[in-house]
């Protein structure tokens, strides 16, 4: 059952609101502009809701219009203020040169300012008001700069952090400045006593769906005498301030919510909300020792918690919570490969890791006590799942058996751990500074001895973090991995091979990307298992060789050496994998990269190859992560091949009596699978981090055997399916929409699950 903790994004619709909307649609469907009985009934309802709204907002005077939501209210307010500035300018008056908005404002505000500023041809400077570490506006800055501003926008409470603005302090800083003042009241509605009429606020937009009304209804308050320009012209509804037939179902629903607010009994009191936040915070502290709260509780809405956990990225936490049925959101927008840091937390000046790994839990004032209790229980269960799977330290760790190969990635850069389960000896290849803590915990929990920390080359964009890793796990470091025993890339001096139980690592010089580049070849007995080729060959690219430390003329010969030693089909594991392709082979890369094919087939001499490559590398742009591109991009990712199977297609595949039985694979990490097992499908668990171990096995399956990957949302499983297809298995599939769309019995509504 789902526990919804994302109320700042949107809320479920309150049963009273749903009933009010349905009753309007069924019985009182009239158009409030009609003068017959049906219309008059609708008009009466409209007036009644406006009257309740005025009372709730403390706005007996001024305009109060119904809109489609806050974004429309913001546009209307900005258009109104800027049209007035243009009128003044056109009348020959000097107008203030700037438009100011809080640095943590919802994007709707700065984007509207820029849009209308450009469209109206005003050309004013649109500037952010700085905020402090506590998320509050810098009032001294505002006081000094407000006199040069035509419009100042400051939200009442922040959607990511819950930080409540000091509206009285802002009013004071604006006094006498002449600036118009817009307050985005979206997150404050029903949570803070705004008393709009008592403040010098000119415009205040609101959104119904943040407070248990449906999407598509909002309000805009405009102070008496404040400039106004309609955004929508037409039939003259809302006193010609906002044309368009009114959304009566939405208005009635919003009315029911505001009525419930006014009457009491539905929403929890401030004291109860504070107590619930405290319990959630305690559960988070228990689950994740070291958790950091990104906004001060005493200045924030009690319903919002914004947290970061050292060593645990936002993506991991979101996957974990989702597996536990806790719906939360990233404090930032999360891409599949990289979470963009939160601009709100960045503006507050929080450390980069906190801004990049923030997660927001926001509950609603109509949530039940049972919901909060269950949320706390599941948060603790999340902590347990992480402890049980070695992600965070546990008091009674029993060593877990490692897979042979584990891959860790940071923004497209790859680090590998080779671990021999029998001897408990392991080697790390291309350690990344961001991973030091994670790797140390990972090895400690598996009772591994670290016998080598190897770099495939001296990196252009970061120093090796080998020493930091040695320092992080002194008790697990073998003598031969100590700094005095190894060369600059971490290879034990005078050793021919590194033995890891029955596995052996040997090295091969492959100068090109850098003068010192090497490949590490992993053998089990006489068989080559995989080759760690650093940035010499990457999926879709060859390592660039235009750095000061590169050896471009040696590159061609190195590729031939590599081919002699690993063959066209040997599995290559690269130092970078910008497109989540996991592994490649020389045969696959030759098909995609004419330059590589040319040098291996003898069409290019080493010199001609170096010249062609230098041409490709001219003006190489940074990667999308704004780090240095380590690969000379040669083949663009192929138009993404469709690998998705929808639920019906998979059910049909599973139901087929004839044909080969599909192999089902759950690529979620172990901590997710613990929280929500997929027992009914009984797939083989192969988390994405250890996927490379199974690739050779699946490649060897008969061509018509389907391999179907699952994950939470269909993202990671699609990566796995594409990787396997690229390696030649055409029957690799991903469950579209992930387990989130797999049919399970769900209650009809949020409120049925946890009755109010």
Tell me the catalytic residues. 334
Site for ligand PLP in 706-735 (CB under 6 A): none
Instruction: Considering the complex, state which of residue 106 and residue 360 has its C-beta at the smaller distance from ligand PLP.
Output: 106
* Residue 654: partners with Cβ closer than 8 Å, 6 or more residues away: 662
Instruction: Kindly state the helix (H) or strand (E) to which residue 329 belongs, with its residue range.
Output: strand 329-330
Q: Measured from the CB of residue 74, what is the shortest distance to ligand PLP in angstroms? A: 7
Site for ligand PLP in 214-233 (CB under 6 A): 218
- Choosing from 80, 159, 406, 510, the residue that interacts with ligand PLP (CB under 6 A) is 159
Give the per-residue SS3 of 276-300: HHHHHHHHHHHHCCCCEECCCHHHE
Which three-class secondary structure state does DSSP give residue 726? helix
Strand pairing of 449-454 and 497-500?
unpaired
* Residue 271: partners with Cβ closer than 8 Å, 6 or more residues away: none
Q: Does 276 bind ligand PLP (CB under 6 A)?
A: no
- Choosing from 30, 69, 214, 511, the residue that interacts with ligand PLP (CB under 6 A) is 69
Task: DSSP letter for 547, please.
Answer: S
Instruction: Considering the complex, state which of residue 54 and residue 106 has its C-beta at the smaller distance from ligand PLP.
Output: 106
Q: Measured from the CB of residue 106, what is the shortest distance to ligand PLP in angstroms? A: 3
Question: Can you tell me the distance from the alpha carbon of 622 to that of 22, in angstroms, rounded to the nearest whole number?
Answer: 54
- Give me the sign of the Cα torsion angle 723, 726, 727, 728: positive
- The most distant pair of C-alpha atoms in the chain lies apart, rounded to whole Å, by 98
- Does residue 429 contact residue 519 with C-beta atoms inside 8 Å? no
- Choosing from 70, 505, 573, 675, the residue that interacts with ligand PLP (CB under 6 A) is 70
- Choosing from 17, 56, 66, 71, the residue that interacts with ligand PLP (CB under 6 A) is 71
Which three-class secondary structure state does DSSP give residue 227? coil
Q: Measured from the CB of residue 553, what is the shortest distance to ligand PLP in angstroms? A: 56
| Piece in contact with ligand PLP (CB under 6 A), picked from 69-77, 412-420, 472-480, 639-647 | 69-77
Instruction: Considering the complex, state which of residue 183 and residue 736 has its C-beta at the smaller distance from ligand PLP.
Output: 183
- Choosing from 117, 165, 207, 332, the residue that interacts with ligand PLP (CB under 6 A) is 207
- Choosing from 16, 165, 177, 187, the residue that interacts with ligand PLP (CB under 6 A) is 187
| Piece in contact with ligand PLP (CB under 6 A), picked from 182-190, 281-289, 510-518, 533-541 | 182-190
What is 3-23 written as a DSSP string? EE-BTTT--PPPHHHHHHHHH
Instruction: Considering the complex, state which of residue 152 and residue 186 has its C-beta at the smaller distance from ligand PLP.
Output: 186
Q: Measured from the CB of residue 491, what is the shortest distance to ligand PLP in angstroms? A: 53
Q: Does 108 bind ligand PLP (CB under 6 A)?
A: yes
| Piece in contact with ligand PLP (CB under 6 A), picked from 30-38, 65-73, 162-170, 611-619 | 65-73
- Per-residue contact flags (x/-) with ligand PLP for residues 542 to 561, judged by CB under 6 A: --------------------
What is 673-724 written as a DSSP string? HHHS--TTT-PEE--GGGHHHHHHHHHTS-TT--EEEE-SSSHHHHHHHHHH
- Choosing from 24, 146, 186, 675, the residue that interacts with ligand PLP (CB under 6 A) is 186
Q: What is the CA radius of gyration of the chain?
A: 30
Q: Does 163 bind ligand PLP (CB under 6 A)?
A: no
Site for ligand PLP in 517-546 (CB under 6 A): none
Instruction: Considering the complex, state which of residue 71 and residue 531 has its C-beta at the smaller distance from ligand PLP.
Output: 71
Instruction: Considering the complex, state which of residue 71 and residue 593 has its C-beta at the smaller distance from ligand PLP.
Output: 71
Site for ligand PLP in 371-400 (CB under 6 A): none
- Does residue 607 contact residue 613 with C-beta atoms inside 8 Å? no
- Choosing from 5, 7, 77, 155, the residue that interacts with ligand PLP (CB under 6 A) is 155
Give the residue carrying structure tokens 């690998």: 643
Which three-class secondary structure state does DSSP give residue 662? coil
Q: Measured from the CB of residue 753, what is the shortest distance to ligand PLP in angstroms? A: 24
Q: Does 101 bind ligand PLP (CB under 6 A)?
A: no
- Per-residue contact flags (x/-) with ligand PLP for residues 439 to 478, judged by CB under 6 A: ----------------------------------------
Q: Which residues of 260-280 are buried (b: 16+ CB within 10 A; e: fewer)?
A: bbeeeebbbeeeebeebbeeb
Beta bridge partners of 684: 665
Site for ligand PLP in 327-346 (CB under 6 A): none
Give the residue carrying structure tokens 């297609």: 649
Q: Measured from the CB of residue 266, what is the shortest distance to ligand PLP in angstroms? A: 21
Q: Does 188 bind ligand PLP (CB under 6 A)?
A: no
Going edge to edge, which strands form the sheet with 203-207? 63-67, 218-222, 203-207, 180-182, 149-153, 98-102, 125-129
Instruction: Considering the complex, state which of residue 218 and residue 250 has its C-beta at the smaller distance from ligand PLP.
Output: 218
* Number of residues located near ligand PLP, criterion CB under 6 A: 13
Q: Does 575 bind ligand PLP (CB under 6 A)?
A: no
Going by C-alpha positions, the residue among 374, 373, 382, 353 that lies closest to residue 288 is 382
Packed helices 314-323 and 369-388: angle between N→C axes, nearest 10 degrees: 120
Residues that bind ligand PLP (CB under 6 A): 69-71, 106, 108, 155, 159, 184, 186-187, 207, 209, 218
């Amino acid at each position: 059952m789902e526990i919804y903790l994302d109320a700042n994004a949107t809320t479920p619709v309150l049963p009273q609101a749903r009933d009010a909307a349905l009753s309007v649609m069924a019985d009182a469907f009239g158009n409030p502009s009609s003068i017959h009985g049906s219309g008059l009934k609708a008009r009466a309802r409209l007036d009644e809701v406006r009257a309740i709204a005025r009372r709730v907002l403390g706005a007996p005077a001024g305009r109060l219009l119904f809109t489609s939501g806050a974004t429309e209210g913001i546009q209307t307010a900005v258009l109104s203020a800027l049209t007035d500035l243009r009128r003044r300018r056109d009348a020959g008056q000097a107008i203030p040169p700037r438009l100011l908005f809080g640095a943590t404002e919802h994007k709707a505000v700065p984007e509207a300012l820029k849009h209308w500023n450009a469209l109206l041809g005003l050309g004013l400077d649109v500037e952010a008001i700085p905020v402090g570490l506590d998320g509050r506006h810098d009032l001294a800055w505002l006081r000094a700069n407000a006199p040069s501003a035509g419009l100042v926008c400051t939200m009442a409470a922040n959607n990511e952090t819950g930080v409540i603005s000091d509206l009285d302090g802002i009013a004071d800083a604006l006094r006498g400045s002449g600036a118009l003042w817009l307050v985005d009241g979206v997150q404050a509605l029903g949570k803070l006593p705004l008393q709009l009429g008592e403040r010098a606020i000119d415009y205040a937009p609101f959104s119904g769906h943040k407070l248990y009304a449906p999407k598509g209804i909002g309000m805009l308050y405009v102070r008496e005498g404040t400039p106004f320009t309609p955004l929508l012209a037409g039939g003259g509804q809302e006193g010609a301030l906002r044309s368009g037939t009114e959304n009566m179902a939405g208005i009635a629903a919003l009315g029911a919510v505001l009525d419930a607010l006014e009457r009491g009994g539905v929403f929890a009191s401030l004291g109860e909300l504070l107590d619930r936040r405290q319990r959630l915070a305690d559960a988070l502290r228990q689950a994740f020792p070291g958790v950091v709260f990104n906004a001060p509780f005493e200045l924030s809405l009690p319903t919002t918690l914004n947290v970061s956990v050292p060593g645990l990225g936002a993506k991991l936490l979101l996957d974990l919570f989702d597996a536990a049925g806790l719906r939360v959101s990233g404090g930032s927008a999360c891409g599949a490969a990289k979470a963009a840091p939160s601009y709100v937390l960045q503006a507050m000046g929080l450390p980069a890791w906190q801004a990049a790994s923030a997660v927001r839990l926001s509950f609603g004032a109509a949530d039940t006590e049972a919901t909060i209790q269950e949320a706390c229980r599941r948060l603790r269960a999340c902590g347990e799942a992480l402890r049980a799977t070695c992600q965070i330290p546990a008091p009674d760790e029993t060593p877990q058996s490692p897979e042979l190969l584990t891959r860790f990635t940071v923004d497209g850069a790859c680090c590998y751990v080779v671990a021999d389960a029998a001897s408990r000896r392991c080697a790390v290849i291309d350690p990344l500074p961001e991973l030091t803590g994670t790797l140390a915990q990972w090895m400690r929990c598996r009772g591994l001895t670290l016998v080598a920390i190897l770099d495939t080359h001296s990196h252009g964009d970061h120093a090796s973090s080998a020493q930091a890793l040695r320092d992080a796990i002194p008790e697990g470091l073998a003598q031969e991995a100590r700094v005095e025993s190894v060369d600059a890339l971490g290879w034990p001096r005078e050793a021919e091979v590194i033995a890891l139980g029955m596995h052996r690592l040997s090295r091969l010089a492959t100068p090109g990307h850098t003068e010192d580049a090497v490949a590490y070849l992993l053998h089990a007995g006489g068989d080559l298992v995989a080759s760690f080729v650093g940035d010499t060959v990457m999926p879709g690219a060859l390592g660039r060789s235009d750095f000061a430390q590169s050896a471009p003329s040696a590159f061609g010969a190195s590729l031939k050496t590599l081919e002699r030693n690993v063959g066209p089909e040997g599995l290559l594991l690269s130092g970078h994998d910008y497109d989540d392709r996991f592994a490649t082979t020389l045969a696959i890369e030759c098909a995609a990269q004419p330059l590589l094919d040319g040098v291996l087939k003898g069409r290019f001499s080493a010199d001609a190859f170096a010249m062609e490559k230098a041409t490709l590398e001219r003006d190489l742009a940074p990667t999308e992560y704004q780090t240095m591109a380590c690969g000379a991009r040669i083949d663009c990712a192929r138009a993404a091949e469709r690998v998705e199977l929808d639920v019906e297609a998979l059910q049909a595949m599973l139901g087929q009596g004839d044909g080969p039985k599909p192999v089902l694979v759950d690529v979620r990490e172990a901590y997710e699978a613990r929280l929500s097992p997929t027992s009914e499908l009984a797939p083989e668990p192969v988390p994405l981090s250890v996927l490379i171990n199974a690739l050779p096995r699946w490649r060897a399956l008969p061509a018509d055997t389907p391999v179907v990957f699952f994950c939470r949302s269909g993202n990671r499983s699609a990566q796995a399916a594409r990787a396997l297809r690229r390696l030649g298995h055409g029957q690799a599939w991903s469950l579209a929409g992930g387990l989130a769309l797999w049919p399970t019995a769900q209650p009809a509504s949020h409120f049925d699950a946890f009755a109010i």
